[in-house]
Structure 1
């Protein structure tokens, strides 16, 4: 179902807003909100702001650059927040680090707390501020010499102008957005369930191939390792380190990134699809040369294993530019005469290895695996020619699963784009949903 535009529009006089419905009013955020800085109290929960999900009392995502928030003894500088307050992280506002408060609580001193002066529902303002034009406007009002140092102070935030419909119309828009996004969210959940099933199927295929082999009639033996169970009798059960030429991690220093040109890869850049060389950080030639000298540069055929944060991601270094890695990645260089790199990658992804790794992980806030503990991991190793056969035999099945996974990811992305488009069109007045009743919305 398509939705009509409003009957008439006017120039808002604000570049990022453009034309808005004629009866909407343009206001400075400072006319709608006032900054408050009330001291918190010991009984209140500490809330955090995520760039993805807004305000919650849960640990912020690692990419939000937030440490796990605990009930600190010293809360003297924390700020009290109340339902319908709008709060934002000064350093992350332009990336979406803001949200509407739902419960009484308190937030970090690094957050700004804005309290409505009028009846404006902050949820509406939050939806409006998450539109691309508003995000860019917040970035433009932020102060700092680089993106990393940008901060949106109250004095700049309050000067941002927004367009508001009358209260009854705002309520209608919020109801419309809630109905439409609920339907889209249900479809997204279906795709996520499919992705979960595909991941389980992929994991089972990998785990069986690298611990049981391709020949169902092969004689078996007890591996003596709980995680492995029975394995083919002619396979070798031993520590991973005995089949590796080199096991080391990446840089333990912060590389220079100002004017960087060489790829500096960390855990977040590694996935089953390979290494994200487009999105990774860049380091300077001087820093790069130093890191190469200290052994932080992987070579073709090495396997990267993530040890910090999301522990256990692996990939093989194939055709790639020269790059160096962060300390969050372990470089495993297999002994080529006895260990196939692609087989090692599958073995590291298997339940047998992943369960061992999980038993060695330390740290609640930031999970970590030490190199010493990875060296203790026991693997099972067939002869080198059989390793190659297993890699070749599993490739078609894994490729098929990967394609289905990619299709589900693409469908999810399209649904999320549609969700964002609905919200953006409604809260900026590009579509008129005042007279859309529940029956019409459900038929859309």
Structure 2
């Protein structure tokens, strides 16, 4: 039956409350607080709001047992309001459903929304282009399997237990991915700052952020290794992007794939031409590791600095060095600006930073070793990501099977119930 047959009422939050954000106000539940794939409510990143006077505020105040639906972006996200939640209100992008609880229990509705039944319904009913959304009528009409109320409670309790176990396995895989990321950075940092030979004699670098380096390495200012260039681009060259995660792209990135807040000018004559081996950095994101090595002919934003090698040097090695946490802190110190997001690293500051350089043969070996390590870490991270995907699929399958009657959880042990979904 549709949800509306057991609804007490359904509403969405008021508009314009963003103007009333206040550290001293009430909890303000947004779509980001509705966790995807779970009926839990995430209050770790909660906004507060000064509630307007009158009925407009009171009608959107949540109670224990209310079911909250995202009606724009993150469609299919749902949460059941827990007991003992302090005074809280919903935003305009969250639908608040309150039930008579005569035929439908709150957790049952939440799990139905997460099942293939709910996900298919919301996907079919969503509308809009770049900003997809649902109407309140779409929520009211959600087709809902109806089991006896006592059985709904039993199934919900079963799913609470079993999805919690799956969630813990997912959390373990995510922790593993974070550890792999940290390990990768530590290994790379050691390679570019200490070399590959653990028995190499060391010497003080005299550069605070570098510490001791192999005794045969030489020191140089960036200005003695690179020169700034600003050659104009040409229409046929691809516009390359610099990412703090992936360096310089090797092809033009589609507009809808660009990082947030990145825009392009229609006038390509404003862009700077780059050649393989150039070092490029984003002046506004150098303090976050926004460096990259160019591998193909192209052009980059006029807001980027392009540095071309003056002598035989492995630019990829310099990129790895400048992405270390120690070097990034130096980029911050040499950048100008009032706040972090206004910091800019100009060439006149960057060129005076001193680095330690191994012989070219050694830098080539270090870069080759880093490439080998990155492939290995990427493969392990991909395995964890695939494990997460499979666990999430299993979670959805278990929920769907339970709420549509494909398995009778009353007669199955947890292990057999899980096996029934495979």
Calculate the TM-score normalised by the size of structure 1. 0.68
2: CA distance between counterparts of 1:121 and 1:324?
56
Question: What SS class does the counterpart of residue 160 from structure 1 fall into?
Answer: coil
Q: Could you list the per-position Cα deviations for residues 328-383 of structure 1 after superposition, in whole angstroms to 9, with x for gaps in the alignment? A: xx6765527354232133223323224445778999xx973733279657644334
Aligned to 1:253: none
Check the 8 A contact 1:304/1:331 in 2, yes or no.
Answer: yes
> CA separation of 1:113/1:425 partners in 2, compared to 1, >3 Å: closer, same or farther?
same
* Structure 1 position 167 matched with structure 2 position 154: no
Task: Give the distance between the partners of 1:297 and 1:92, measured in 2 at CA.
Answer: 38
Partner residue, 1:411: 387
Tell me the equivalent position of 1:123: 107
Aligned length: 385
* Equivalent residue number for residue 66 of structure 2: 85
Residue 36 of structure 1 contacts residue 114 of structure 1 at CA under 8 Å; is this kept in 2? Answer: yes
| Contact 2:28 2:48 survives alignment (8 Å) | yes
Q: Determine the structure 2 residue equivalent to 1:401.
A: 377
Contact 2:13 2:93 in 1 (8 A): no
Contact 2:26 2:50 (8 Å CA) reproduced: no
CA shift for structure 1 position 206: 0.6
1:432-443 alignment, distance < 5 Å: 432-437=408-413
CA 1:129–1:317 in structure 2 vs 1: closer, same or farther (change >3 Å)? Answer: farther
Q: 2:115 and 2:281 mapped to 1: Cα distance?
A: 37
Q: CA deviation at 1:207?
A: 0.8
1:22-171 matches, within 5 Å, as: 26-29=1-4, 31-32=6-7, 34-36=9-11, 43-50=25-32, 52-53=35-36, 55-59=41-45, 70-73=47-50, 79-92=60-73, 94=75, 96-102=76-82, 103=85, 104-118=87-101, 120-144=104-128, 146=129, 148-171=130-153
Pairwise mapping of residues 26-425 of structure 1 onto structure 2 (< 5 A)? 26-29=1-4, 31-32=6-7, 34-36=9-11, 43-50=25-32, 52-53=35-36, 55-59=41-45, 70-73=47-50, 79-92=60-73, 94=75, 96-102=76-82, 103=85, 104-118=87-101, 120-144=104-128, 146=129, 148-216=130-198, 218-233=200-215, 235=217, 243-245=225-227, 270-271=245-246, 281=256, 290=266, 292-295=268-271, 300-301=276-277, 311-312=288-289, 316=293, 318=295, 333-335=307-309, 337-356=311-330, 368=341, 370-372=343-345, 376=350, 379-425=355-401
2-side partners of 1:336 and 1:139: how far apart?
A: 56
* Cα distance, 1:294–1:278 mapped onto 2, change above 3 Å: closer
**SS of residue paired to 2:144:** strand
State the superposition RMSD in angstroms. Answer: 4.6
Q: CA deviation at 1:275?
A: 8.2
Q: Which runs of 5+ in 1 are unaligned?
A: 1-25, 60-68, 249-261
Deviation at 1:36, TM superposition (A): 4.1
- Structure 2, gaps ≥5 residues long: 231-237
- Partners of 1:233 and 1:132 lie apart in 2 by 63
Q: Is the 8 A contact 1:173 1:433 kept in 2?
A: yes
- 1: distance between equivalents of 2:93 and 2:184? 43
Distance (Å, rounded) in 2 between the aligned partners of 1:231 and 1:177: 56
Asked if the contact 2:228–2:307 (Cα under 8 Å) also holds between the matched residues in 1, the reply is yes
Query: Structure 1 stretch 206-215 or stretch 397-406: which is displaced more?
Result: 397-406
Deviation at residue 420 of structure 1 after TM alignment: 2.3
SS at match of 1:87: strand
Change in CA separation of 1:409 and 1:333 when aligned onto 2, cut-off 3 Å: farther
Post-superposition offset of 1:209? 1.0
Counterpart of 1:106 in 2: which secondary structure? strand
- Alpha-carbon deviations, 1:101-151, whole Å to 9, x = none? 23241232343322223253333322322334533422433343x1x2333
Deviation string 1:166-201 (CA, Å, 9 cap, x unpaired) is 212212222222232233334334433433443333
Indicate the residue corresponding to 2:234 in structure 1.
none
Offset at 1:80?
A: 2.0
Whether contact under 8 Å (1:263, 1:282) holds in the other structure is no
Cα contact 2:27–2:47 (8 A) shared by 1: no
Q: 1:244 & 1:73 partners in 2: Cα distance?
A: 54
CA, structure 1 residues 172+207, in 2 after alignment: closer, same or farther (shift >3 Å)? Answer: same
